[in-house]
Amino acid sequence: MSEEKSLNFLEEIIEEDLKNNTHQGRVHTRFPPEPNGYLHIGHAKSICVNFGLAQKYNGKCNLRFDDTNPSTEETAYVESIKTDIEWLGFKWDHEYYTSDYFGTLYQYAQQLILKGLAYVDDSTAEEMATLKGTPTTVGVNSPYRNRSIEENAQLFEEMRAGKYPDGAKVLRAKIDMKHDNMLMRDPVIYRIKHAHHHRTGDAWCIYPMYDFAHGQSDSIEEITHSICTMEFIPHRELYDWLIEKLEIFPSHQYEFARGNVSYMVTSKRRLLQLVKENHVAGWDDPRMPTISGLRRRGYTPASIRTFWEHVGVAKRDNTIDINLLEFYIREELNKVALRRMAVLDPIKLIINNLDEHESISLQAENNHEVENAGERTISFSKNLWIERDDFMENPPNKYFRLGPGLKVRLKHAFIIACTHFTKDQNGQITEVYADYYPESKSGQDTSGIKVKGVIHWLDASSAKQAEVRLYDRLFTVEDPTSETGDFKDYINPNSLTIIQNAWIEPALTSASLEDKFQFLRLGYFCKDRNSTNEHIIFNRTVGLKDSWAKEVKKG
């Protein structure tokens, strides 16, 4: 590709550092998820940025589980996070856990105490909040702020030994209660929590706060570029202060805009609610914006990477139109998906001029978009399935599908002319009858008959029954979290349509979960992981409509 892409601001920073030989030319990033839920589309952006920069600059990227909160973390989440990162196509250089650093972090806290830069505070949370002041009024020193170094060291040791109940005491950094940045007003760096941790068990009853763990872990791993999202900007001052006072490796924090996508909620806490309250069928429900949900829906890793690559990194928060994500998956599936036929709402089409046991073999191309995609053999016989809405009893002008006296082409097969139809007592069409023109075979048509419409169909004698699940957006508004009331009030009640009696080509029964298909005129589909030989299930990834293509080409 000759296309010259300009550098994004993170690349500019890194290239400047490389030029100045900062960190001896090393680039070392990390992706630091908290294992308290499954990864979502927003995390994919952070993964692409962190792993992507390491790749581009021959650096390294660690996977660090930020597991400092014992009550919300689970080993199952750790496993899902690893699966999702690998599926996205990235490999971490080291796998670390902040909990592995609990011993070192404890020593760092002791060092701050010995330098007179931390103290134990017995105030209640309410008292501390009151003394903290507000963004427009300065804070007031805690009555415990002037404890001696010896007393602080002793109390902190007792906290660690389990002498005090939850909330009785905290350790705070001694900075400045009048600081403009509220986070610098003597932030809490350790709290007491008698809770079982998923990795350290009951070894600890005090746990470091995010701000005291994150930057220090970066230093321990000698991370050169610690990249996070914009909401951490106010934390950077504290990040730098702690590293400076502890005289440890000078990691630096850089912030970029979160990735938000319209009609999707990107917050593990909220996604957990959807799962716990059974609004969806689990973290990997194909309507979920999780990586595992997108995977089950039929998204490919490349389409997600390309999407975030196209969006780029910037410092301004914005929401990306979900249509853009759908554009990239369509673009890829158009190239890789095998074309197949399926009928979702069937009516019988009977060919008058074929005998019951006659069957004609036809060749159907797998994908005309790519060379060498090959062909498959399909059969044509007396009893066929077509879509109910491809037939109209009283068709208007310019209806180019089937109706009494109308002609249409059956894809990969013949032109047919409708002769008559039958109805049941409710007025429902039951059967449609047509003659076929033997000399109109696709690719070898000598009939001279011109038709405008082409419809898909299946041979009823070989078609297999399947369940097909069609999805719509999970929410009815672009950003359900910014609306009044609860975000769950905006769940789309029609986000899932289950079709029990669809028909599919027989070849689809042996499809693997990774295979991608285009069902002609219906969209892109993949097999669901709950599919069995007896009960085949297909998920629609996305429809065929592509109103976004023009916008993207315009740039």
Q: Under the rule (CB under 6 A), what is the footprint of ligand ATP?
A: 32-34, 42-43, 45-46, 66, 228-229, 258-260, 266-269
Sign for the CA dihedral angle at 390, 396, 400, 402 comes to positive
- Of these partners, ligand ATP, Mg ion, none, which one is at the site of residue 528 (CB under 5 to 8 Å by kind)? none
- Least CB distance from residue 71 to Mg ion, whole Å? 14
Residue 42's binding partner out of ligand ATP, Mg ion, none, with CB under 5 to 8 Å set by partner kind: ligand ATP
Site for Mg ion in 34-63 (CB under 5 A): 34
Query: 10-39: which residues touch Mg ion (CB under 5 A)?
Result: 34
Minimum distance of ligand ATP from residue 34's CB (angstroms): 4
Are 437 and 447 in contact by the 8 Å Cβ rule? The answer is: yes
The listed partner (ligand ATP, Mg ion, none) that binds 459, CB under 5 to 8 Å by sort, is none
- Which candidate, 63, 59, 71, places its Cα nearest to that of 32? 63
Active site residue 56: no
Give the one entry of Mg ion, ligand ATP, none that residue 32 binds, where binding means its C-beta sits below a cut-off of 5 to 8 angstroms depending on kind. Answer: ligand ATP
267 binding partner (options Mg ion, ligand ATP, none; Cβ < 5 to 8 Å by kind): ligand ATP
CB of 62 to ligand ATP, least distance (A): 12
State the Cα–Cα distance between residues 284 and 292, nearest whole angstrom: 5
The option from Mg ion, ligand ATP, none interacting with 139 (CB < 5 to 8 A, set by class) reads: none
Q: How many residues does the chain have?
A: 555
Please identify, using beta-carbon distances, which residue of 34 and 345 lies nearer to Mg ion: 34
* Cβ closest to Mg ion, residue 34 vs residue 151: 34
Minimal CA–CA distance to 417: which of 431, 400, 403, 396? Answer: 403
Q: Cα(190)–Cα(179) distance, rounded to whole angstroms?
A: 20
Cα within 13 Å of Cα(256), Cβ side: 24
> Cβ closer to ligand ATP: 307 or 421?
307
Give the nearest distance from C-beta 233 to Mg ion in angstroms: 15
Provide the CB-side half-sphere exposure for 9 (13 A, CA): 9
Tokens of 19: 């030029």
Helix (H) or strand (E) holding 282: none
Choose the one of ligand ATP, Mg ion, none that binds residue 268, judging by a C-beta under 5 to 8 angstroms depending on kind: ligand ATP
Nearer to ligand ATP, 32 or 139 (CB): 32
Number of H helices, E strands in the chain: 13, 27
Name the token pair of 77. Answer: 């989440």
Instruction: Tell me the H-state helices in 221-357.
Output: 236-246, 268-276, 291-297, 301-311, 322-336
Q: How far is the CB of 268 from ligand ATP (least distance, A)?
A: 4
Helix axes 41-56, 75-88, angle to 10 degrees: 60
Nearer Cβ to ligand ATP (34/483): 34
Helix (H, G, I), strand (E, B) or coil at 517: strand
Is 72 or 83 the residue whose CB approaches Mg ion more closely?
72
Nearer to Mg ion by Cβ, of 217 and 539: the residue is 217
For the bound state, the minimum distance from the C-beta of residue 27 to Mg ion, rounded and expressed in Å, comes to: 24
Residue placing its CB nearer to ligand ATP in the complex, 378 or 474 = 474
Helix axes 210-220, 236-246, angle to 10 degrees: 60
Q: Which of 82, 132, 245, 258 is catalytic?
A: 258
CB of 208 to Mg ion, least distance (A): 14
Determine the Cα–Cα distance for residues 23 and 416; give it in Å rounded to an integer: 73
Binding residues for Mg ion, total number by CB under 5 A:
1
Nearer to Mg ion, 44 or 117 (CB): 44
Q: Point out which residues pair with 283 in neighbouring strands.
A: none
**Residue 258 falls in the annotated catalytic set:** yes
Partner interacting with residue 286 (select from Mg ion, ligand ATP, none; CB below 5-8 Å by kind): none
Q: How far is the CB of 542 from ligand ATP (least distance, A)?
A: 21
CB of 210 to ligand ATP, least distance (A): 9
* Catalytic position from the list 11, 26, 34, 411: 34
Structure tokens at 81: 């996070």
Return the number of other C-beta atoms located less than 10 Å from residue 24's C-beta.
Answer: 6
Round to whole Å and give the CA distance between 212 and 495.
42
At residue 485, what are phi and psi to the nearest 5 degrees? Answer: 80, -165
Report the alpha-carbon distance of residue 409 to residue 436 in Å, rounded. Answer: 9
* 521 carries an active-site annotation: no
Instruction: Give the whole-angstrom CA distance, residue 141 versus residue 111.
Output: 22
Catalytic residue among 268, 287, 305, 540: 268
Picked from ligand ATP, Mg ion, none, the partner binding residue 359 (CB below 5 to 8 A depending on kind) is none
Tokens 């005998």 sit on residue: 355
Say which amino acid occupies 6. Answer: S
What are the C-alpha distances in Å from 221 to residues 96, 108, 178, 240, 273?
A: 9, 15, 33, 16, 34
List the catalytic residues.
Answer: 34, 258, 268
Kindly list the residues in this chain that would bind Mg ion in the complex (CB under 5 A). Answer: 34
